[in-house]
């Protein structure tokens, strides 16, 4: 079904750029636009957000027709301006120079038409079974390895909104955080792109809020909307999840394709892992989505073994990451990933291959294979 739209002060938009939409009129003056909105049966307006009082135009148009889909076009990449436009009621934003496919997708979403080719990416949550399990280190390096394997940017969200350490692990001081995205109103790829800190490794970091007060202002519904927008935007999304099972953690687990549960070879860690798996099963979470990773492995040190973990939890261990405390601490202190041939990173790379389903191109034998645990 063809939908009619209005184009206000964006002359570069031509009819053949937006199949399934018909341009009912081009307008240049505010009064002219308002007359057209009131008189014509249109589903959306595309307007120039760089014009003076553009947000006022958005507000006025929605007063006349509250269900109108507003798409803003701008050359301004400042996230504060984008947030202001979305708070005024702009449903979608397109950045100049206009990409016709981007404009078409924005219009479809603004009028709630399904996109022809939805292609949600994979979402992986990482959760520690016990305090100090090293789940943040696993999440950060897993994001780096998955970005390399999927040959596209990987989003890494710090969902420990109070005390998370993802930004610190990369030595980042982000201008925008998860709280800024939550306050943006409508969440789309444009807002995510502006809020992310892009790393040379292909990882896009979304940091926790800077204060506990801002963290408490983020609710589970907004978190769900952000994660779903990320899944539509990135081929792979990593979530570093806090150990307490609150509403935000619940959303992360519900939205992920795989939950990587990180434990150490200790009795308390194994007991906690068992309790978490039981609790998730009671909540209706499919247990085949849960993968077990043993971190900080040292051979013949603990009475608890990998075999015991698999027997007690009734599932195969996805990966065994060796203990290299000095190297991990040093990498964290300088905000850089571990060296390529470090055994910790090699083990995490092996996990990334299994989780992504992508073949490893390196001919080097992995650390897991060297000790007889690879397969």
Per-residue pLDDT tens for 7-49? 999 999 999 999 889 999 999 999 999 999 999 999 999 999 9
Report residue 215's pLDDT band, with 50, 70 and 90 as the boundaries. Answer: very high
- Domain boundary among the residues 57, 75, 110 is at 110
How high is the mean pLDDT of the chain? 87
Query: Is residue 76, in this structure, part of any structural domain at all?
Result: yes
Low-confidence winner among 15-24, 201-210, 331-340 (lowest mean pLDDT): 331-340
Give the integer Cα–Cα distance in Å for 322 and 367. Answer: 9
Are 136 and 224 in the same domain? yes
Report residue 365's pLDDT band, with 50, 70 and 90 as the boundaries. Answer: very low
The CATH number of whichever domain residue 172 belongs to comes to 3.40.50.300
Provide the pairing of β-strand 203-206 with 122-128: unpaired
3 state SS of 222 = helix
pLDDT exceeds cutoff 90 at 132: no
Give the integer Cα–Cα distance in Å for 181 and 79. Answer: 9
Report residue 81's pLDDT band, with 50, 70 and 90 as the boundaries. Answer: confident
37 burial type by CB count under 10 A (0-12 exposed, 13-18 middle, 19+ buried): buried
Are 298 and 258 in the same domain? yes
How many domains, the chain?
2
- Report yes or no: 13 and 46 within 8 Å, Cβ to Cβ: yes
Are 187 and 155 in the same domain? yes
DSSP string, 92-109: EEEESSPPHHHHHHHHHH
Are 38 and 140 in the same domain? no
The CATH number of whichever domain residue 81 belongs to comes to 3.40.50.2300
Asked if residue 97 has a cis previous peptide bond (ω within 30° of 0), the answer is: yes
Give the integer Cα–Cα distance in Å for 352 and 98. Answer: 36
C-alpha atoms less than 13 angstroms from C-alpha of 271 in its C-beta half-sphere? 4
Report residue 359's pLDDT band, with 50, 70 and 90 as the boundaries. Answer: low
Q: What pLDDT is recorded for position 367?
A: 39
Are 218 and 81 in the same domain? no
Query: Is residue 116, in this structure, part of any structural domain at all?
Result: no
H helices then E strands: how many in the chain? 16, 13
Are 43 and 172 in the same domain? no
Report residue 110's pLDDT band, with 50, 70 and 90 as the boundaries. Answer: confident
Percent of the chain residues past pLDDT 70, beyond the cut:
93
Are 221 and 85 in the same domain? no
Mean pLDDT of 155-184: 93
Q: How far is CA 188 from CA 89, 94, 105, 240, 259, in A?
A: 14, 10, 11, 21, 25
Beta sheet of 290-297, edge-to-edge order: 197-198, 203-206, 154-158, 236-241, 122-128, 258-263, 290-297, 317-322
Domain span at 258: 122-370
Give the integer Cα–Cα distance in Å for 122 and 125. Answer: 10
Report residue 204's pLDDT band, with 50, 70 and 90 as the boundaries. Answer: very high
Percent of the chain residues past pLDDT 90, beyond the cut:
60
Query: Is residue 375, in this structure, part of any structural domain at all?
Result: no
Query: Is residue 115, in this structure, part of any structural domain at all?
Result: no
- Domain boundary among the residues 59, 86, 110 is at 110
């Amino acid at each position: 079904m063809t939908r009619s739209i209005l184009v206000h002060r964006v002359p570069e938009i031509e009819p053949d750029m937006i199949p399934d939409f018909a341009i009912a009129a081009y307008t240049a003056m505010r009064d002219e636009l308002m007359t057209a909105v009131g008189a014509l049966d249109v589903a959306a307006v595309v307007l120039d957000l760089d014009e003076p009082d553009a947000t006022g135009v958005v507000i006025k148009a929605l007063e006349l027709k509250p269900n109108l889909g507003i798409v803003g076009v701008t050359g301004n990449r400042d996230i504060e301006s984008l947030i202001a436009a979305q708070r005024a009621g702009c449903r979608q934003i397109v950045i100049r120079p206009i990409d016709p496919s981007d404009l078409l997708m924005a219009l479809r979403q603004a009028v709630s038409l399904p996109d022809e080719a939805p292609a949600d990416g994979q979402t992986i949550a990482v959760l520690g079974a016990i305090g100090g399990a090293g789940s943040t280190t696993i999440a950060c390096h897993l994001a780096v390895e998955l970005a390399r394997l999927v040959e596209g940017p990987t989003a890494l969200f710090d969902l420990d909104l109070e005390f998370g350490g993802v930004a610190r692990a990369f030595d980042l001081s982000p201008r925008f955080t998860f709280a800024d995205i939550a306050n943006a109103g409508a969440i789309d790829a444009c807002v995510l792109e502006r809020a992310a800190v892009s790393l040379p490794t292909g990882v896009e970091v979304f940091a926790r809020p800077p204060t506990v007060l801002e963290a408490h202002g983020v609710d589970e519904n907004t978190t769900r909307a952000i994660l779903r927008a990320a899944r539509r935007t990135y081929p792979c999304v990593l979530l570093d999840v806090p150990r307490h099972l609150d509403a935000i953690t619940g959303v992360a687990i519900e939205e992920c394709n795989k939950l990587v549960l990180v434990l150490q070879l200790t009795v308390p860690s194994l007991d906690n892992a068992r309790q978490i798996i039981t609790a998730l099963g009671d909540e209706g979470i499919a247990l085949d989505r849960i993968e077990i990773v043993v971190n900080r492995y040292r051979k013949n040190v603990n009475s608890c073994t990998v075999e015991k973990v698999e027997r007690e939890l009734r599932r195969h261990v996805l990966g065994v990451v060796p203990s290299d405390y000095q190297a991990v601490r040093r990498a964290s202190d300088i905000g850089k990933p571990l060296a390529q041939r470090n055994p910790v990173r090699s083990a995490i790379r092996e996990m990334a291959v299994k989780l992504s389903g992508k073949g490893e191109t390196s001919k080097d034998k992995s650390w897991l294979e060297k000790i007889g645990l690879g397969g």
